[in-house]
Amino acid sequence: MEFGKPLGSVIEGSLIRGLEVRLHPDVSVEDLRVGKFLIVQGRRSRFFCMLTDLALGTASARILANPPEPANLFLQEVLSGTGTYGTASLSPMLMFTPQDLDGSSPKSSANTTQRQNGAASYQVQSSAAVELLPVKTIPSHFSQVYDAAERDFRIVFGWEDDPHRRNFVIGQPIDMAVPICLDLDRFVERSNGIFGKSGTGKSFLTRVLLSGTIQRQAAVNLIFDMHSEYGWEAVSEGKHFSTVKGLRQLFPGQVQIFTLDPEATKRRGVRDAQELYISFDQIDVEDLMLVRTELNLSEASLENAIILRNEFGKGWINRLLTLTNEEIQDFCETKMGNKSSIMALQRKLNRLADLKYIRAACPHNYVGQILTAINEGKHVVVEFGSQSNLLSYMLATNVIARRIHAIYVQKAERFLQTKNPSDRPQQLMITIEEAHRFLDPATARQTIFGTIAREMRKYFVTLLVVDQRPSGIDNEVMSQIGTRITALLNDEKDIDAIFTGVSGAQSLRSVLAKLDSKQQALILGHATPMPVVVRTRAYDAQFYSDIGATAWDEMPDEPLFKASEAAKADLGF
């Protein structure tokens, strides 16, 4: 089907349900795919649409009652397009009126010519001048439907070398070799999500997006790397063993790795990583509330933890772990605590001492080191190594993110006061995996990540959540997710969660359900003008070359860990 060749005619439809198109006799339904980008040329406006469903129709019930024999190809050809035909359901997403661009009022004869010429009517116009509008009307009967051409994609999704925007190619349409771009400035200014069931390539897609933000300098990244997949090389999926490069290898001068398990990091051959430790005095009661299930903490234990914190201050955990039974008894008598709850809290907090990155006290402020790197414009990957269980991951990420967010709040408030561009904080995007553990309805209001998601861009900090169970995320948080990049999902609850707060969700559900299990995703939201299904960009040698990443040069005798000057001083908050 060549550009300009009509595929079918609009026969009915509504603004809510979408359009029904009868395909022309020479167009087979097998040439179309759900999720395809199509153009409808109305009398005055052009409509950008997504194909959401396909169906077969017959002009008479007699054909269904007495279908032609499989060998009778002649009768099948006779019936094709008249007695039998194909229909397509379209969902209009955007529209624009070409003749309005020059301020002239179109005449009916011009409209007729424009409708007959189809998609060719705006080829000479600059895409920069096209104002895309939300769909508030529908095309008239018998408006022609066309296959989208490269020009249409450029008008809607832009192109990567646009000097006015930080566009980044995320993939291609499922049936064309045309780049689909995300506007990274709009992407990083709100929290976003990458969703899909296990094995659909979420990690690879996340690497592609993070590489784009680094290359285009759209934001500074703080990545909590639960399975050590993003910083250094990771194993690629497939029958044969192979590895892919990490962000540190692609951008050696811009990415810094911190590790909570130096031994595991050393075994993997990671260079120039910095150790990271957390002390007990950095852990607050709010952090324990997040991991209460993993530690099996009761409500009474948490209430007594607040009493202990109010009495002993930041060092309350160290003090609790040294209390004897007699001292606990005396404390409860004077401070109205519960002895059994405090003793249970003491036993369960001893588990934290077994974590490799926990210290009673730290000589350096390692979280301050991370903040220093971020202030220098470096992207930080925090590796967990063998400490990737949920208790370790949830505790460390919450402690680190809470302290960094507190500093960003101070910076943002100072910027709002001074209005000095030099005081403006760099946009920070925090990437977390297993996001539903932090953002479920029971804990979303208690974690710093729930706060960040609700604040949106107020304090220049946003989230990139990576998860396979979006149904576990609080609905209020999901409604604040600006851009949603979704691979295949099977669970109905997860699919419902993806479309929380999205208009026209019913038609998009069928598109999501028909995605391939690999390298396909539905993108919708703030960073893209309209929903689109893409064949996601491969994370391979060609990608490394396309983004112009600097190769990692072999440097013999390079020390594995080095302490920066910031690590030698206690920065304090």
Amino acid (1-letter code) at residue 287: D
Amino acid (1-letter code) at residue 440: D
What are residue 19's phi and psi, to 5 degrees? -110, 145
Closest CA to 357 of 329, 385, 331: 385
CA 452 – CA 430 distance, rounded (Å)? 10
Residue 553, token pair as written in the block: 């040069």
Q: What is the pTM of this model?
A: 0.84
Is 546 a residue whose pLDDT tops 90? no
Strands (E), 315-387: 358-359, 379-383
The model's confidence at residue 573, banded by pLDDT at 50, 70 and 90, is very low
Q: What are the domain boundaries of the chain?
A: 6-157, 183-277+362-547, 283-354
Fold of 183-277+362-547: Rossmann fold (3.40.50)
The pLDDT of 90-97, averaged and rounded, is 90
Pairing of strands 274-275, 255-259: parallel
Q: Which of 102-116, 307-321, 327-341, 421-435 has the lowest mean pLDDT?
A: 102-116
CA 240 – CA 351 distance, rounded (Å)? 40
Interacting residues of 370 by C-beta distance below 8 A, sequence separation 6+: 222, 258, 276, 380, 382, 400, 404
The pLDDT of 130-150, averaged and rounded, is 89
Taking only the tens place, the pLDDT of each residue in 194-242 is 999 888 888 899 999 999 999 999 999 999 988 888 888 877 766 667 7
Q: Which of 57-66, 137-146, 233-242, 466-475 has the lowest mean pLDDT?
A: 233-242
Interacting residues of 155 by C-beta distance below 8 A, sequence separation 6+: 127, 130, 132
Higher model confidence: residue 467 or residue 115?
A: 467
Q: Which residue has 């990671």 as its token pair? A: 270
Is 271 a residue whose pLDDT tops 70? yes
The pLDDT of 333-351, averaged and rounded, is 88
Taking only the tens place, the pLDDT of each residue in 293-322 is 888 888 899 899 999 999 898 889 999 989
The model's confidence at residue 109, banded by pLDDT at 50, 70 and 90, is very low
* DSSP state letter for 315: G
Residues 180 and 532 sit within 8 Å (Cβ to Cβ) = yes
Residues 204 and 521 sit within 8 Å (Cβ to Cβ) = no
Percentage of the chain beyond pLDDT 70 is: 88
Q: Which residue has 């996001």 as its token pair? A: 435
Taking only the tens place, the pLDDT of each residue in 478-517 is 888 999 999 999 888 998 889 887 777 777 888 888 888 8
Taking only the tens place, the pLDDT of each residue in 117-129 is 433 344 434 344 5
Positive/negative CA dihedral, 495, 501, 507, 508 = negative
Residue 314, token pair as written in the block: 């930041």
pLDDT of 559 reads: 40
Is 417 a residue whose pLDDT tops 80? yes
CA 281 – CA 315 distance, rounded (Å)? 5
Question: In this structure, what is the dihedral angle of CA atoms 283, 289, 293, 297, given to the nearest 10 degrees?
Answer: 80
pLDDT of 142 reads: 93
